[in-house]
Amino acid sequence: MRPRRDAGPAVVHRLAEAGDGLGTVFLVHPGALAAGVHRTLAEALPAGTGLTVLDLSGHPAYWEAALTGGRADTTVEELADRIGDELDALDDGGPRTLAGWSFGGVVAQALVERMPAGRRPDRLVLLDSIAPTPEYQQPDDALEPPLLLGWFAMYLGAKRGRPVDVDPHLLAGGGTEDGLRHVLAAAAAGGALPADTAPAGLRKLYDTYVDGLLRNNRLTAPYTARPSTVPLVLVTAERSLLPGDRTLGWGPLAPHGLEVHRSPGDHYTMLSRPDAAAVIARLVRPAAPARRAPATKV
């Protein structure tokens, strides 16, 4: 039985209302964690700065794909247009910044390039988002169990609010079932899961998580991104999805400049840690360039 098409999350989440002319941050969110995870950022922004999260999971064709095998009946361009319609309905003409986390950054960048020139923001802030360039568009079989299990452990820890620290050497070269046993042991040791959690239940959660990743990977694979017409600001997590990759592939898409900043936390906890939110808040607030944090130029 297919899930009900009205069972998914809402698209628009107003986490902070704009006031005092400070403008609004619009953040494209791809799900995985609930949109409310961005409340930490809302609290870090100056009083009177709005934060509205635009959740891709509010679109059934996107959301249901994570529950039905990871194949979405939509495209990056269609998602960008849908989010653009929501943005147009919400925009009050005041100052604004556009940002996107993870796959949400891909959609946000597509959205900017589909906007009329006069409506584009002065910059786009990408939160640990991997660029949709040929070097980074991978077939499904490139996402091997050790990589996926490491990402899943980060996700599980963020979702449960407890550390799930798995030694990467335990995952290297192994299969999914052995890897999940190591994840379960680490989750129990860190208090993220009860010690008696059934392996089958963890496997179900893992499969849904992987289907969400495959959905995003399959949406990105055929997509050809246009070079950005606005400067790009990239915030990578200390424990990014691709550790050691400083620009996550955005250089070729940034002819007008790429700023690179580093945030505490991992790909998921960067959204809920107050110290990470403080870094991100300085970069996303609708403000003059002189008020932004120092950056490394690429």
**Length in residues, the chain:** 298
Token readout for 176 is: 């999914």
Taking the C-alpha atoms of residue 33 and residue 272, their distance in angstroms, rounded to an integer, is: 10
What pLDDT does residue 253 have? 98
What pLDDT does residue 89 have? 92
Contacts of 179 (CB under 8 A, 6+ apart): 145, 146, 149, 170, 171
Strand partners, 268: none
What pLDDT does residue 84 have? 95
This prediction has a pTM of: 0.92
Ranges in the chain, pLDDT < 70: 1-8, 287-298
Residue 249 gets the label, from left (phi > 0), alpha (psi -120 to 50) or beta, of left
What pLDDT does residue 287 have? 57
What pLDDT does residue 4 have? 40
Classify burial at 37, counting beta carbons within 10 Å of its beta carbon; exposed 0-12, middle 13-18, buried 19 or more: buried
What pLDDT does residue 5 have? 43
What pLDDT does residue 259 have? 97
What pLDDT does residue 7 have? 54
What pLDDT does residue 292 have? 38
What pLDDT does residue 236 have? 98
Taking the C-alpha atoms of residue 44 and residue 51, their distance in angstroms, rounded to an integer, is: 11
Residue range 16-43, pLDDT digits in tens: 999 877 899 999 999 999 999 999 999 9
Contacts of 105 (CB under 8 A, 6+ apart): 28, 99, 124, 126, 127, 129
Contacts of 258 (CB under 8 A, 6+ apart): 231, 232, 233, 234, 247, 250, 251, 297, 298
Classify burial at 226, counting beta carbons within 10 Å of its beta carbon; exposed 0-12, middle 13-18, buried 19 or more: exposed
What pLDDT does residue 8 have? 65
What pLDDT does residue 51 have? 96
Contacts of 48 (CB under 8 A, 6+ apart): 18, 19, 20, 21, 22
Query: CB atoms < 10 A from the CB of 76, how many?
Result: 22
What pLDDT does residue 16 have? 95
DSSP the chain: -PPPTT-S--SEEEEE---TT--EEEEEE-SSS-GGGGHHHHHHSPTT-EEEEEEGGGSHHHHGGGTTTS--SS-HHHHHHHHHHHHHHH--SS-EEEEEETHHHHHHHHHHHHS-GGGS-S-EEEESPPP-SGGG---GGGS-HHHHHHHHHHHHHHHHTS-----HHHHTT--HHHHHHHHHHHHHHTTSS-TT--HHHHHHHHHHHHHHHHHHHHHHTT--PPPPSS-EEEEEEEE-SSTT-SSTT-GGG-TT-EEEEEEEEETTGGGT-HHHHHHHHHHHSS--GGGSPP-EE-
